C-alpha cells in the first residue's frame, strides 16, 4: 500500500482544468506525476464520461524535457496500472517536446498523403551548420565582420569568432522562439528609422545597428544551409508544429480528443514556443498540469527558457497552485541551508532586481514522520566552508585529495565534485588522475572527450589504411588511455609495445595472421618477449573484430566502435554518450561531403582529438547516468541537476562566479562593446520588432543581463547544495592564477550568509 504525503494527496485529487505544481528538489515529482497519470486512467476506465475514455483511444499525454525521463515515466505509469489491475500499456503517451512536435507534423502532413518524416538536425549538427554559416558570411563580408575588432592578431580573431558564434546562437534561438523569419528581420532593418544601437529611453533615431545586420545575415545563411540540407533544427520543428495547429482547427480538435489531459514535466525550463504549443494543444479551459521548480531554473544561459514563464503560469487566476514541498533527500541542516539562501536573496540581496526575480519564496520541508523516504538525520550530516590561499596550488589539489580519501573511506556512498566551469574541472581531473582516484569525468569538451575522439580516430585510421604502422601504434596508445581491456597493461610497458608495432615486419601478420606463430615471427627477433606477444595478440583480436564492421555506413561504424569501446561496463555510460555524439558529427561531415571516405573523415576527427574543435555533449541526466558508490562524479553545477549524491564538494564559489552586485566583474563582457554582446543583440532585436527592449527599468541591456547572471548563479548554487544528502563542503580561494599572474578574489556574499548559518547550528 502506497502511503502518500498530504501534498501528494491534494495533487492527486485533481480532476480537470489547469494546475501548477511547484516541486522542491527531491520531492518526488516524477513519482507524483506518474501517480496522477495512473489515477486519471483508472478513473477513465471506471467512468469514461467524467474523465477520459481509454477504450476510445483517448490518452494522457506526458511531456518531459529529457529522453532519459521518457523511459522512467513509462515504467512508473506501467507499474501503477499493473498495481490497479488495469492494462499496463494503454491509455498514455510519454514524449519529449521534440517527439511531440514531430508527431504533430507527421499527423498533419500524413493527412495530405504519404510523405517522409521531416529530418531534424541534432544539437551537434546545428552547431556545425552555424559554424559553417558564420564562415560563409564572413567570407562575403570581411570588412563588416572586422568593424568590431581593434586589432588583427590571431588570438583576437579567435576570441571574436567564439564571441560571434555564442551571440549568433542566442540571437537565432530568440528570433525563432518569437517566430521571426530572417527575411522579416531583414525587411524591418531596411524599413526602420529607429536607433536600434541605443535602447535607452531617451535615444534618438539615427541608424541601423551593424551588430544586427551581421547577426541577421548569419541567421539567413544558417537557414539557407538547413534548407539546402532539407532539415529542420529543434526550434524549427516546434515552430512548424505550432503553425500547423494554428492553421488547422480540425487538427487541433482531433488532437484534443486524442489527448484530453496534458501533464508537463520540468516546466521551469519551458521556452516560449513550448508554452505556445502546449497552450494551443490544451485549449482555453483545457486540462493542463505543469510541474517544475522555478528555483531550479538554470537553463536561460543556454536556451530561451526563463523562470518567469512558469512563475506567471502559477500566478494566473485560472490555475490551481498546489506546491510539492516535502523532500526526503537531504538532512534537515542541509535543507535549511538551501532555505536560508532563498530567504536572504529574496529579502536582503543588495540588487533590487535580484531580490525580485531570483527565487520563488518556497521552503523545502522535511518528510513527515512515518514517511517511506525519511531524511538522513542531522547526526550523520555535516556542512563545511573552506577557504584556501590559492586556487591552483591549494584548493583544487586538496579538494581532489579529500574527495579521493572520502571515496575510499565511505565506499558504500556516492560522491561528487561540482565545478562552476569545465575549465576548472579539467584541472581537478588532472589531480584525480595523479591520485589514481576512481572517478567518472562528466565534463564537456575536456580531456576525456579528446581521449575518446583520439581512440575512435586511431581505429578509423587503421581501418582506412592498415599498412600504416604509426596508426597501429596510435590505436594501441588510444585504447590504453581509455583503459580498454584490449590494451590493459602497466603504463611503463606502453613505449616498448608501441616501438614493437612500429618495427613489425608487415602489418598483415598482426591484423590477419596465418597461424599462431605469424605475429611472433614478424616482430624483431630477441626483442619481443612471450608477454609482449600475448599482449599484442589481444590487441590484434580486437582490431580484427573492428575490420568486420568496415562496410557499415560511417555513423553506424562509429556507433559500433563506441559500443566496442564502452558498452561492456555501465560505469562508462558517459563515455558511450560522447562516442555516440562523435558518430553524429561524422554522419554530418559525410552528408555535407558525400565524396569523403574513411581517410578524410579520420582527418577531420583528428581535429577534435587535438582539441581544435569542440562538440556539444548531453548532460549526464540526459542519458540516464547513475552515480556509483565509491566513485567520484566530476561534473559542473549545471549538469548536476537531476542527480544526487551522499557527499558533494562545491569548488570555486567566489565573487567572480557569483558577483555580489552590478559593479562587479562579469565574465563575457567584450571590450569592443563595453558590455555583453549577446545581451546587446537581444535587446536590439526586441526593440526592433516590438519597440521595447525588455530591460529592467533604468538598466542597460548589459546590466539587465547581469541581473539574470547573478540570479541564475544563485539558483545554480541552490541546485548544488540540494544535491547533497549527508555531507556538503563549499570552498573558495583568496587568489587565483599561476605564478606572476595571481589575482586576488573577493568572497561570494552568499558564503557569508551560509557561514553565519553554520555558526548558529548546535555543536
**Residue 136 predicted with pLDDT over 70:** yes
What is the tens place of the pLDDT at every residue in 521-565? 888 777 888 888 888 888 888 888 888 888 888 878 888 888 888
C-alpha cell of residue 522: 614478424
Q: What is the mean pLDDT of residues 617-630?
A: 72
526: left (phi over 0), alpha (psi -120 to 50) or beta: left
pLDDT of res. 505: 79
What is the tens place of the pLDDT at every residue in 69-78? 788 888 889 8
**Residue 153 predicted with pLDDT over 90:** no
- Cα separation values, 574 from 13, 123, 413, 444, 646, Å: 40, 17, 20, 10, 20
| Lowest mean pLDDT across 215-229, 654-668, 743-757 | 654-668
Q: What is the mean pLDDT of residues 725-731?
A: 98
| Lowest mean pLDDT across 18-27, 214-223, 340-349, 593-602 | 593-602
DSSP string, 210-249: HHHHHHHHHHHHHHHHHHHHTEE-HHHHHHHHHHHHHH-H
pLDDT of res. 198: 47
What is the tens place of the pLDDT at every residue in 703-724? 999 999 999 999 999 999 999 9
Confidence of residue 199 (pLDDT cuts 50, 70, 90): very low
Q: What is the mean pLDDT of residues 611-638?
A: 75
What is the tens place of the pLDDT at every residue in 413-438? 999 999 998 889 989 999 998 999 99
CB atoms within 10 A of CB 143: 6
- Cα separation values, 17 from 21, 242, 259, Å: 13, 22, 14
- Cα(156)–Cα(172) distance, integer angstroms: 24
Return mean pLDDT, the chain.
Answer: 86
**Residue 224 predicted with pLDDT over 60:** yes
Contacts of 378 (CB under 8 A, 6+ apart): 331, 332, 333
Q: Output helix, strand, coil percentages for the chain, rounded to the nearest 5.
A: 55, 10, 35
- Beta partners for 365? 326
Q: What is the mean pLDDT of residues 476-498?
A: 86
What is the tens place of the pLDDT at every residue in 323-343? 999 999 999 999 999 999 999
The model's pTM is 0.81
State the residue for C-alpha cell 597501429: 472
Residues 669, 656 contacting (CB under 8 angstroms): no
pLDDT of res. 602: 81
Q: What is the mean pLDDT of residues 70-94?
A: 86
- Cα(480)–Cα(475) distance, integer angstroms: 8
Confidence of residue 113 (pLDDT cuts 50, 70, 90): very low
C-alpha cell of residue 552: 557499415
pLDDT of res. 475: 87
Question: pLDDT over 90 for what percent of the chain?
Answer: 46
pLDDT of res. 673: 61
**Residue 616 predicted with pLDDT over 50:** yes
pLDDT of res. 573: 65
Amino acid at each position: 500500500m502506497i502511503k502518500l504525503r498530504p501534498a501528494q494527496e491534494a495533487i492527486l485529487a485533481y480532476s480537470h482544468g489547469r494546475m501548477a505544481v511547484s516541486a522542491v528538489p527531491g520531492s518526488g515529482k516524477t513519482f507524483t506525476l506518474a501517480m496522477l497519470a495512473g489515477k486519471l486512467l483508472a478513473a477513465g476506465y471506471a467512468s469514461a464520461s467524467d474523465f477520459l475514455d481509454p477504450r476510445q483511444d483517448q490518452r494522457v499525454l506526458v511531456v518531459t524535457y529529457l529522453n532519459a525521463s521518457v523511459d522512467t515515466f513509462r515504467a512508473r505509469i506501467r507499474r501503477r496500472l499493473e498495481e490497479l489491475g488495469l492494462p499496463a500499456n494503454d491509455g498514455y503517451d510519454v514524449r519529449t517536446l521534440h517527439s511531440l512536435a514531430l508527431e504533430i507534423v507527421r499527423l498533419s502532413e500524413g493527412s495530405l498523403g504519404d510523405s517522409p518524416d521531416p529530418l531534424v538536425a541534432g544539437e551537434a549538427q546545428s552547431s556545425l551548420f552555424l559554424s559553417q554559416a558564420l564562415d560563409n558570411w564572413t567570407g562575403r563580408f570581411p570588412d563588416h565582420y572586422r568593424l568590431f575588432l581593434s586589432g588583427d592578431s590571431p588570438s583576437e580573431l579567435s576570441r571574436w569568432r567564439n564571441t560571434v558564434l555564442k551571440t549568433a546562437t542566442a540571437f537565432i534561438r530568440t528570433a525563432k522562439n518569437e517566430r521571426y523569419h530572417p527575411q522579416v528581420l531583414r525587411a524591418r532593418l531596411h524599413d526602420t528609422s529607429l536607433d536600434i544601437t541605443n535602447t535607452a529611453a531617451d535615444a534618438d533615431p539615427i541608424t541601423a545597428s551593424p551588430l544586427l545586420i551581421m547577426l541577421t545575415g548569419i541567421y539567413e545563411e544558417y537557414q539557407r544551409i538547413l534548407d539546402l540540407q532539407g532539415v529542420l533544427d529543434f526550434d524549427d520543428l516546434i515552430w512548424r508544429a505550432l503553425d500547423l495547429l494554428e492553421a488547422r482547427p480540425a487538427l487541433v480538435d482531433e488532437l484534443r480528443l486524442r489527448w484530453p489531459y496534458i501533464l508537463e514535466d520540468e516546466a521551469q525550463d519551458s521556452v516560449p514556443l513550448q508554452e505556445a504549443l502546449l497552450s494551443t494543444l490544451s485549449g482555453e479551459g483545457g486540462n493542463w498540469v505543469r510541474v517544475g521548480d522555478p528555483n531550479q531554473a538554470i537553463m536561460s544561459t543556454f536556451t530561451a527558457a526563463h523562470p518567469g514563464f512558469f512563475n506567471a503560469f502559477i500566478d494566473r487566476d485560472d490555475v490551481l497552485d498546489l506546491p510539492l514541498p516535502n523532500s526526503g533527500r537531504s538532512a534537515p541542516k542541509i535543507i535549511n541551508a538551501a532555505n536560508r539562501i532563498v530567504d536572504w536573496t529574496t529579502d536582503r540581496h543588495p540588487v533590487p532586481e535580484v531580490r525580485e526575480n531570483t527565487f520563488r519564496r518556497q521552503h523545502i520541508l522535511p518528510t513527515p514522520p512515518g514517511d517511506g523516504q525519511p531524511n538522513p538525520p542531522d547526526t550523520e550530516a555535516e556542512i563545511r566552508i573552506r577557504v584556501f590561499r590559492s586556487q591552483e596550488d591549494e584548493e583544487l589539489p586538496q579538494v581532489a585529495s579529500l574527495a579521493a580519501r572520502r571515496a575510499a573511506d565511505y565506499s558504500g556512498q556516492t560522491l561528487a565534485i561540482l565545478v562552476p566551469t569545465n575549465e576548472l574541472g579539467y584541472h581537478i581531473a588532472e589531480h584525480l588522475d595523479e591520485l589514481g582516484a576512481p572517478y567518472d569525468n562528466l565534463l564537456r569538451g575536456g580531456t576525456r572527450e579528446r581521449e575518446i575522439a583520439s581512440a575512435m580516430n586511431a581505429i578509423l585510421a587503421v581501418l582506412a589504411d592498415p599498412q600504416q604502422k604509426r596508426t597501429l601504434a596510435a590505436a594501441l596508445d588510444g585504447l590504453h588511455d581509455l583503459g580498454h581491456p584490449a590494451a590493459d597493461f602497466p603504463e611503463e610497458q606502453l613505449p616498448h609495445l608501441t616501438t614493437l608495432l612500429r618495427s613489425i615486419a608487415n602489418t598483415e601478420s598482426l591484423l590477419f595472421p596465418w597461424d599462431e606463430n605469424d605475429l611472433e615471427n614478424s616482430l624483431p627477433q630477441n626483442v619481443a618477449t612471450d608477454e609482449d606477444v600475448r599482449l599484442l595478440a589481444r590487441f590484434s583480436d580486437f582490431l580484427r573484430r573492428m575490420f568486420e564492421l568496415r562496410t557499415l555506413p560511417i555513423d553506424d561504424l562509429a556507433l559500433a566502435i563506441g559500443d566496442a569501446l564502452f558498452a561492456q561496463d555501465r560505469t562508462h555510460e558517459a563515455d558511450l554518450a560522447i562516442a555516440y555524439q562523435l558518430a553524429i558529427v561524422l554522419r554530418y561531415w559525410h552528408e555535407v561531403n558525400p565524396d569523403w571516405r574513411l581517410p578524410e573523415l579520420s582527418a577531420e576527427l583528428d581535429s577534435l582529438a587535438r582539441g581544435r574543435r569542440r562538440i556539444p555533449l548531453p548532460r549526464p541526466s540526459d542519458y540516464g547516468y547513475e552515480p556509483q558508490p565509491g566513485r567520484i562524479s566530476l561534473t559542473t553545477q549545471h549538469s548536476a541537476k537531476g542527480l544526487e549524491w551522499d557527499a558533494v564538494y562545491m569548488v570555486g564559489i567566489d565573487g567572480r562566479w557569483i558577483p555580489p552586485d552590478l559593479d562587479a566583474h562579469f565574465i563575457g563582457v567584450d571590450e569592443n562593446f563595453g558590455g555583453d554582446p549577446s545581451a546587446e543583440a537581444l535587446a536590439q532585436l526586441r526593440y526592433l520588432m516590438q519597440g521595447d527592449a525588455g530591460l529592467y527599468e533604468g538598466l542597460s541591456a548589459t546590466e539587465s543581463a547581469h541581473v539574470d547572471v547573478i540570479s541564475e548563479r544563485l539558483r545554480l548554487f541552490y541546485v548544488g547544495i540540494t544535491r547533497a544528502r549527508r555531507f556538503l563542503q563549499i570552498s573558495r580561494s583568496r587568489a587565483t592564477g599561476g605564478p606572476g599572474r595571481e589575482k586576488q578574489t573577493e568572497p561570494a556574499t552568499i558564503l557569508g550568509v551560509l557561514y553565519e548559518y553554520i555558526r548558529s547550528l548546535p555543536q
